[in-house]
A and B are shown apart, each in its own frame.
Chain A
Amino acid sequence: MLLVVVGIWPAGYALNLALTSFGGAFTGLTNFINTYNQGFLVPAFEHVATFMAIWLTALIVIVIGLSLVMHTLARRVSAPFRFLFYLPAAFAGSASVLVWLFMLQPGLSPWDFVLHMLGYKTLGDSLISGNLPIVYALIAFWTGAGSWILVIHGALANVPDEVLEAAALDGAGPVQTALRVKLPMIKKWIVYMLIVAFAGGTQLFAEPQLISQVSQRLVDPLWSPNTLATYLAFQYDNFNYAAAIAIDLLVVAVVCAGLLVFRTGLFKAD
C-alpha cells in the first residue's frame, strides 16, 4: 500500500507531468527533448560521469585493496580499523559537506600543509571547477567507503578456509592468493558494490547544492542532474522539465536495480 502511495504513484505522476505541457496537454516526449536541447543536461551528466570515474576507481582500488590487506590480519586486529573507517558514515548528508568545507579552507584545515603545497590561499582556490569532481569524490569516499569495506570484508570472511589452505599448499604467496583466489570468489559482491555506487552517484545532490550555496552561486548551481532539476522546478516553476529529468534518473536507477535483482543472483524471490 505505502509502496503505491509514496513509490509508484509519484513515479506515475512524474511521468504524467513529464509527458504534458505546462497547461496540461499531452506533448509526448517534447519535455525530454527540450531539457536535452537546453544545453544544461548533457554537461550535468558529464560532470557526474567525471565524478563517477574517480569515485568508482577509488572504490575498486582502495576499498578492495584495504579489505584484502585487512583480511590477512586476525579479525581482532583488523576490527578497530574497520570501525574507524566506518565512523564517518554517521556524518552523511549535509554534515559531511560542512566538515569538508572546513577541511578545504586554508588556515582552518588540519590538512593546511597539503593546501599550502598546492598553493591554495582561499576556499575558492580549493573549489575551482576542475577540482569539483575530486572534492565530491573525497566527500563520498569519506562517508561511504567504510561501509563498502565492511561489505567486501564480510564477503571475504565467507571464503572457505580450505580454499585458502589449498592455495597456500600450492605455493601461492599472499599477493597471489589475493589476486587469483580471493578476488574471483568475491566477484559478485564487487559487481554489486559498483552498480549500487553507480546508481547512487547519478543522484548526487547535497554536495553540489551546498557548495554552490556557500559560494553564492559562483560554483555552478546546475552541476548535477538533480541540482539542475530542482533549479528548474523551484527557480523557474518548470515542474514539467524537472519531471522529465527525474524520469531520466529514475530509469537509470530502475535499470541498475533490475540488473542487481535479475543478473547477480544475490536476491531471491521464491
Chain B
Amino acid sequence: MRPVNISVRLDVSITPRPWSPRRLLARGAWRLIVLGVLAFAAIFFVVPIVWLLLESTRTGPQSQFGSPLGFGSFNQILANWQVLFSGLLGQTGTWLANSALYSGSGVLIAVGLGIPAGYGLAAFDFIGRRPLLIATMIAMLIPSNALVLPLVLEAHSLKVLSSPLAVILPYGLFPFGVYIAYLYFNTPRVHGLLAAARIDGCTEWQAFRAVALPLSTPVIGLVVVLDFIASWTNYFLPWAMYSAFDLPGRYPVTLGIAQQLMAGPSYGGGLLRDLQLQTTAPPSVEALLILVSCAPVIIVLLIAQRWIVSGRLQGVFV
C-alpha cells in the first residue's frame, strides 16, 4: 500500500496549478514574444530569397524604377530564361553541365573509395589503424579551403591545372565519408553479421559485397548528399584552377556567377563612393541565374534535410 501512496502524492505535487486568467495571459504574451522573435529572424533569412523570386519576374526598367519587392509577370520569367540559356548568357548551360560533371564524378569517387575504406577500418585490425583513423578525422575537420592553395601548387607542378581532374579528384576526397562508414560498420550488429558470414564460408570479398554493402545504403545516401552540396557550391577551388588561367569553357556555375561581376563597363571617376553594381545582364536575369544555379541544392535540401542534420551532428560541415 505505501508505495502507491507515495506515487499518488508525487502526482499531486506535479499537477500544475489551475490556470488563473493572469497566468494564461502571461503565457500567451510569452508565446507571442517567442514567435515574434522567430518571425523577425525569418524575415532576415527569407527576404533575399523572396527578392530573387520576385526579381526574376521583372523586366530591366521594372527593377530599375519599380519598388524593390514588386512583382512583374509570369511571362517575363520565360523571357529572362531565354536570355539566360540562349541570349546574352548563352554559356549557362555549359556551366551547369560542368558543375554536374565535377560534383557527380566527385561524389562517385567519394562513395567508391570512402565506403570500402570505412569498412576496412571497421572490419580489420591492422598496424597503423588508429593513426589512420585520426588522420581521417583531422582531414575531415580541416576547412576544404585550407587545401586549395597547396592543391593548386601541386596541380601546377603536375601540369593538370587546366584539366577537369584538378577539380574532380579533390571533390572525391571526402574523409567524412570514410569516418561515417567506419562508425556505421563498427557496431556489434555488423560485426556479428560479418562473423556469421565468414563461418558460412564467405570470402572477405563476398562478406563485403553481400553483407556489408547492402546494409550501407543510408551511409551512401548521406555521403552523396553532403559531398554533392559541398562540391556544387565550391567556389575557391575551381576559381584557383581555372579562372586565373582564363578557361571559361571549364567553369562550373559558381564561377559563371562570379563572371557576371566582371564584365561591367568602368564607371566614371574611379572613386569608391561612385561605385554602382554592374552586372553582365539586367538584375532580373541575374536573379534567375542564381535561382537556377542553386535549384539542385535546394531540391537536395528539401529531400534530405534530416540526413544533413545527422551528418552535422556527427562532425561534417558543408
Q: Which of A74-118 contact B (CB under 8 A)?
A: 78, 81, 83-95, 97-103, 105, 107-112
Option from A94, A108, A242 in Cβ contact (under 8 Å) with B153 = A242
Do B273 and A108 have beta carbons less than 8 Å apart? no
Q: For the complex, count residues of A whose C-beta is within 8 A of B.
A: 101
Q: How far is B147's CA from A257's CA once the two chains are assembled, in angstroms?
A: 14
Chain B residues near A169: list those with CB within 8 A: 13-14
Q: Is A261 an interface residue (CB 8 A)?
A: yes
Q: Is B42 an interface residue (CB 8 A)?
A: yes
Q: Which of B256-297 contact A (CB under 8 A)?
A: 257-258, 260-262, 264, 266, 270-279, 283, 286-287, 290, 293-294, 297
Q: How far is B42's CA from A66's CA once the two chains are assembled, in angstroms?
A: 11
Task: Please judge, given known A-B contacts A86-B301, A94-B255, whether A239 and B69 are in contact too, CB under 8 Å.
Answer: no
Do A124 and B143 have beta carbons less than 8 Å apart? no
- Residue in B13, B37, B290 with the greatest tally of chain A CB atoms within 10 Å: B290
Q: Is B81 an interface residue (CB 8 A)?
A: no
Do B305 and A86 have beta carbons less than 8 Å apart? yes
- Residue in A70, A94, A242, A256 with the greatest tally of chain B CB atoms within 10 Å: A94
Chain B residues near A199: list those with CB within 8 A: 141-143, 146
Chain B residues near A250: list those with CB within 8 A: 142, 146-147, 150
Q: How far is B175's CA from A210's CA once the two chains are assembled, in angstroms?
A: 29
Do A214 and B38 have beta carbons less than 8 Å apart? no
Q: How far is B149's CA from A203's CA once the two chains are assembled, in angstroms?
A: 11
Chain A residues near B179: list those with CB within 8 A: 267
Chain A residues near B148: list those with CB within 8 A: 205, 226
Bitwise, A202-232 to B at CB < 8 A (1) or not (0) is: 1101100110011110110000001001100
Do A98 and B298 have beta carbons less than 8 Å apart? no
Q: Which of B222-251 contact A (CB under 8 A)?
A: 229, 233-236, 239-240, 244
Bitwise, A56-76 to B at CB < 8 A (1) or not (0) is: 000000100010011011000
Option from A105, A150, A209 in Cβ contact (under 8 Å) with B308 = A150
Option from A81, A128, A218, A246 in Cβ contact (under 8 Å) with B149 = A246
Q: Is A25 an interface residue (CB 8 A)?
A: no
Task: Please judge, given known A-B contacts A10-B150, A66-B38, whether A155 and B254 are in contact too, CB under 8 Å.
Answer: no
Do A88 and B315 have beta carbons less than 8 Å apart? no
Do A154 and B312 have beta carbons less than 8 Å apart? yes
Q: Is A49 an interface residue (CB 8 A)?
A: no
Q: Is A127 an interface residue (CB 8 A)?
A: yes
Write 6 A-B pairs (CB below 8 A) sorted by A numbering: A2-B173, A14-B150, A93-B235, A213-B261, A239-B153, A257-B142
What residues make up the interface of B, taking CB atoms closer than 8 Å to A?
A: 13-14, 30, 34, 37-38, 41-42, 44-52, 55, 63-64, 68-69, 109, 113, 130, 133-139, 141-143, 145-154, 156-157, 169-170, 172-173, 175, 179, 229, 233-236, 239-240, 244, 254-255, 257-258, 260-262, 264, 266, 270-279, 283, 286-287, 290, 293-294, 297-298, 301, 305, 308-309, 312-313, 315, 317-318
